[in-house]
Amino acid sequence: YARYGVEFCGNTTIPDDAKMARFVKEYVSADDQCDLAKGLWSLYQAHVGAAQSMSFSERDQLLLIQGLYVGLEEQTRLQSFINESLPGYMVQWCRFWPTRNVTKCREFLNKIATELIVHLFIGSHRLNTDEDVPSGMHNGSNFSLFLTKLANPEAYALMAAMLNQTTLQLKNTAASDWNILAQRMRFISAVFWVFQDHEDLNCYLFSAEQDLLIRTDQSDKLDPQSWFQICDRDCCAANGRWDGLN
């Protein structure tokens, strides 16, 4: 992503597909088919399309596709580390299990670990991964105005595959065992869908006065208690929030 920014975000002219193809081949994947490559292509399409009168809904669906592919790539790479960290995959935890079937022990311990320690903090929200992703997070609506309907066939198909659903909804998105990749992606994909364009994640972290001090290399004059603000509803209300219009 950092390299993408260097290559594409400082351009004064719209880049072409050939440049993106060279970028992916050099920095990501020679065959252009890995999940990370697919995600970056979706980012590029949203980026370039935004300069060519693409609608907000079309752009946001491409960004959602990007998040799903890159999230899958990341979680796949993390799988072995998660296997080693959750209690059910530490043999010593199961040595006192009453039967020789340690698979049941692992499932039991991973379920307990998922319930007790695997929580996600997003903006002012705490999400328990063993519960369905909450509904009504956008002032009573489940999703932003631009993602209420996934009209992009790839976005719909990819979300359906991640949620393992034919009718897309937030029900049955909870994970009982965070060690299982399919369960993690089911929950994470729903989180991406809900929180993309959410006001808690698209507002200014700093006031106009703070921003001016930072930009003019005077951050030492900031009140130490206000150096970092959690971007919650009050922060958004005070400092302005992105509304999809500019």
pLDDT digits (tens, 9 = 90+) for 109-164: 888 888 888 888 877 788 999 999 999 887 788 998 889 999 999 999 999 999 99
Q: What pLDDT is recorded for position 172?
A: 94
Query: What is the C-alpha to C-alpha distance for residues 39 and 64, in angstroms, rounded to an integer?
Result: 9
Instruction: Find out whether 43 and 5 touch, Cβ atoms under 8 Å.
Output: no
% the chain with pLDDT above 70 = 79
Query: What is the C-alpha to C-alpha distance for residues 209 and 192, in angstroms, rounded to an integer?
Result: 32
Helix (H, G, I), strand (E, B) or coil at 19: helix
Band of pLDDT at residue 194, cut at 50, 70 and 90: very high
CA-based end-to-end distance of the chain: 23
Other Cβ atoms less than 10 A from the Cβ of 224: the count is 6
Band of pLDDT at residue 187, cut at 50, 70 and 90: very high
Q: 27-41, 185-199, 208-222: which has the minimum mean pLDDT?
A: 208-222
Helix (H, G, I), strand (E, B) or coil at 52: coil
Place of tokens 């209300």: 237
CA–chain centroid gap for 233, Å, is 20
Does 210 score more than 50 pLDDT?
Answer: yes
Other Cβ atoms less than 10 A from the Cβ of 112: the count is 14
Does 49 score more than 60 pLDDT?
Answer: yes
Query: What is the C-alpha to C-alpha distance for residues 135 and 140, in angstroms, rounded to an integer?
Result: 8
Query: What is the C-alpha to C-alpha distance for residues 32 and 37, in angstroms, rounded to an integer?
Result: 6
Exposure of 179 in the CB half-sphere (CA atoms within 13 A): 20
Closest CA relative to residue 23, chosen from 50, 51, 43: 43
Query: What is the C-alpha to C-alpha distance for residues 28 and 31, in angstroms, rounded to an integer?
Result: 9
Q: What pLDDT is recorded for position 50?
A: 67
